[in-house]
Every structure is written in structure tokens, then in C-alpha cells.
């Protein structure tokens, strides 16, 4: 009787571990390669936001932007425009869509919406 009980509880423990592993495994074995593939394949990311500051001469623009899928959350941050010339005519308050290099985070393009 005691041996049977022990065996049964061990079986339950193993079952729980198997279920936990099954629930946990896909997030590691599937999601991870997909994330890496996205970083390698899509080097340019697209964002939308509002210009909160521009220094066209320095090639710097600050954008209060929405989340950029696969790259970063919504935030206000400064980007370095490459080339700086693309910032000419841009003003604080402009609603924009823009392109960001996923590796260097350089601003590759920006358009008024």
C-alpha cells in the first residue's frame, strides 16, 4: 500500500513536470528563433510619432513615438538622422512616419503625415 501511494504521487509529480515542460518549451524553442530571424531579416523598422524637437544642423530629431513592433516600446527619444539633410523643413509638432536601422537605431528616413 505504501509503495503504491509513493508510486502514484511520483507519477503525479512527473505528470505535472511534463505538463509544465510542454507549456514552457514552445515559448523557448519556437519564439526564440523567430525573434532572431526577425532581427536578421528586417533591418529597417517603421515607426510613427510626433516631432518634439529638431536640430537639423546637428542631424538630431526627438520623436515621441508609438511602439515599434519588434524593436522598442513607445517612448520619446532622440534619433540621429543619416543623412542630416532629411530633417530640413521638419518642425516641432509635425506628425511623422519614419524608418529606423534596427542595429544602429539611426534614422534612415522621415516623412510628414
Report the residue number, 11 or 75, with the smaller CB distance to Cu ion.
75
Count of residues of this chain found to bind Cu ion when the rule CB under 5 A is applied: 3
From the CB of 25, what's the least distance to Cu ion, in Å?
A: 32
From the CB of 76, what's the least distance to Cu ion, in Å?
A: 8
Please list every residue from 33 through 92 that binds Cu ion, using CB under 5 A.
Answer: 72, 75, 77
Assess whether the previous peptide bond of 83 is cis (omega < 30° from 0). Answer: yes
Nearest CA to 106 out of 75, 74, 67, 71 is that of: 71
Report the residue number, 20 or 77, with the smaller CB distance to Cu ion.
77
Report the sign of the C-alpha dihedral through residues 12, 16, 21, 23, in that order: positive
From the CB of 61, what's the least distance to Cu ion, in Å?
A: 12
Cell of 8: 502514484
CA distance 51 to 85: 16
Q: Which residues bind Cu ion (CB under 5 A)?
A: 72, 75, 77
Amino acid at each position: 500500500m505504501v509503495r503504491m501511494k509513493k508510486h502514484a504521487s511520483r507519477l503525479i509529480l512527473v505528470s505535472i513536470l511534463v505538463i509544465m515542460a510542454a507549456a514552457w518549451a514552445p515559448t523557448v524553442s519556437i519564439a526564440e528563433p523567430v525573434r532572431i530571424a526577425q532581427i536578421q531579416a528586417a533591418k529597417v523598422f517603421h515607426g510613427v510619432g510626433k516631432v518634439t524637437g529638431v536640430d537639423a544642423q546637428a542631424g538630431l530629431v526627438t520623436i515621441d513615438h508609438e511602439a515599434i513592433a519588434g524593436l522598442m516600446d513607445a517612448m520619446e527619444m532622440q534619433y540621429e538622422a543619416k543623412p542630416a539633410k532629411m530633417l530640413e523643413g521638419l518642425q516641432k509638432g509635425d506628425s511623422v512616419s519614419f524608418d529606423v536601422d534596427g542595429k544602429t537605431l539611426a534614422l534612415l528616413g522621415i516623412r510628414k503625415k
